[in-house]
């Protein structure tokens, strides 16, 4: 049975301050905050060995931690260079192997940018790459791994809600990663009230029409933005930029949604993730 989960992307600034020294202590650290999810960061390349992944995964399982993994940032599903575009599949396969060693099954990735082509052309290339990626995952024994294209924060990046849902239409296993901070940034503060969040959830339900609209992946943080979209991640203490988490958490409680919610605050992700968890618990207990 699925359950809502709360966790962090990487470790927060207080990890070492609290006396933790290595990655194998991450599960204990998360558990101390009442968290039960962790997104392992491979943005600059997949360097996690199978041995270390298995060890970390086993420790995490004892603490009830569910792992996901963020694939390298240089993936480009929509690139004009076909060789580089197909290399993205290799990076997804590497990511799948790493998350499997952790005992997890979700790989989150950025689709790329539009570059010098139209959004329509970029999406067509990304859809083609996505189809090849699904085939490759099956051929290499990763049919149980869920690929999660992410809603992106910069206007020129491929990654509107519509575009992410289009990628999810390639295969029933592909599940959206809705980054609400990114979405708020690329829409210049478009997530101002509960109805704004509800509209996104309704769109997902209409497009996906299955459990993915309930068990999706989430990134959440406040993000400073300009006319081009995302500028930098902030903490929940910021009062100028959004989005606020309360409306979304209320909808999760009201609708019985069970996403995995990963906090990406700038250095305070454990504290901020705990705040979301505590607010959810206050609504459901």
- Report, as an integer, the average pLDDT of 121-143: 97
List, for residues 210-247, the tens digit of each pLDDT value. 999 999 999 999 999 999 999 999 999 999 999 999 99
Q: What share of the chain is helix, strand, coil (3-state, %, to 5)?
A: 45, 15, 40
Residue range 94-110: average pLDDT? 98
Q: What pLDDT is recorded for position 1?
A: 55
The predicted-structure confidence for 2-56, as pLDDT tens digits, reads as follows: 899 999 999 999 999 999 999 999 999 999 999 999 999 999 999 999 999 999 9
Strand partners, 150: 177
For 201, the 3-state DSSP assignment is: helix
Residues 6+ apart with CB under 8 A from 161: 151, 176, 178, 183, 200, 203, 204
Nearest to 153 by CA among 53, 235, 224: 224
Mark residue 159 as left, alpha or beta (left: phi above 0; alpha: psi -120 to 50; beta: remaining): left
Candidates 133, 11, 162; CA nearest to 75 is 133
Tokens at 27, concatenated = 């599960």
243 preceded by cis ω (within 30°)? Answer: yes
Report the pLDDT value the prediction gives residue 80, as an integer from 0 to 100: 87
- Structure token digits, residue 142: 């990763």
Separation of alpha carbons 70 and 44, rounded Å: 10
Residue-level pLDDT at 51: 98
Q: What is the pTM of this model?
A: 0.98
- Domain 5-284 bears CATH identifier 3.20.20.150: yes
| pLDDT tens figures, 145-195 | 999 999 999 999 999 999 999 999 999 999 999 999 999 999 999 999 999
Q: Which residues contact 263 (CB under 8 A, 6 or more apart)?
A: 6, 7, 8, 9, 219, 220, 221, 269, 270, 272, 273, 276
Averaged pLDDT for residues 101-119: 95
Report percent pLDDT > 90 for the chain: 95
Give the angle 247-173-166 at the CA atoms, nearest 5°: 70
pLDDT score, position 84: 86
Tokens of 44: 């600059």
| d(C-alpha 73, C-alpha 137), whole Å | 19
Residue 249 has pLDDT above 60, yes or no: yes
The whole-angstrom separation of Cα 102 and Cα 168 is: 24
> Rounded mean pLDDT of the chain?
97
Angle subtended at Cα 7 by Cα 129 and Cα 194, rounded to the nearest 5 degrees: 85
């Amino acid at each position: 049975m699925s359950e809502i989960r709360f966790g962090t992307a990487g470790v927060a600034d207080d990890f070492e301050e609290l006396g933790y020294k290595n990655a194998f202590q991450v599960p204990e650290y998360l558990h101390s905050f009442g968290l039960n999810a962790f997104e392992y960061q491979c943005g600059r390349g997949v360097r996690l060995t199978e041995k270390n992944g298995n060890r970390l995964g086993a420790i995490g399982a004892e603490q009830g931690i569910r792992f996901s993994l963020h694939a390298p940032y240089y993936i480009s599903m929509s690139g004009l260079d076909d060789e580089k575009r197909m290399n993205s599949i290799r990076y997804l396969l590497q990511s799948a192997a790493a998350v499997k060693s952790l005992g997890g099954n979700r790989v989150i990735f950025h689709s790329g940018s539009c570059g010098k082509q139209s959004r329509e052309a970029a999406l067509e290339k990304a859809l083609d790459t996505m189809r090849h990626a699904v085939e490759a995952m099956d051929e290499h024994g990763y049919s149980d791994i869920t690929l999660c294209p992410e809603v992106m924060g910069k206007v020129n990046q491929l990654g509107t809600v519509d575009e992410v849902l289009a990628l999810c239409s390639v295969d029933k296993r592909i599940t959206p990663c809705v980054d609400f901070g990114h979405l708020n940034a690329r829409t210049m503060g478009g997530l101002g009230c509960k109805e704004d969040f509800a509209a996104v959830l309704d769109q997902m339900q209409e497009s996906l029409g299955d459990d993915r609209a309930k068990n999706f992946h989430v990134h959440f943080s406040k993000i400073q933005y300009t006319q081009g979209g995302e500028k930098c991640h902030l903490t929940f203490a910021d009062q100028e930029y959004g989005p606020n988490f309360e409306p979304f958490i209320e909808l999760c409680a009201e609708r019985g949604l069970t996403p995995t919610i990963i906090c990406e605050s700038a250095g305070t992700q454990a504290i901020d993730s705990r705040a979301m968890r505590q607010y959810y618990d206050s609504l459901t207990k």
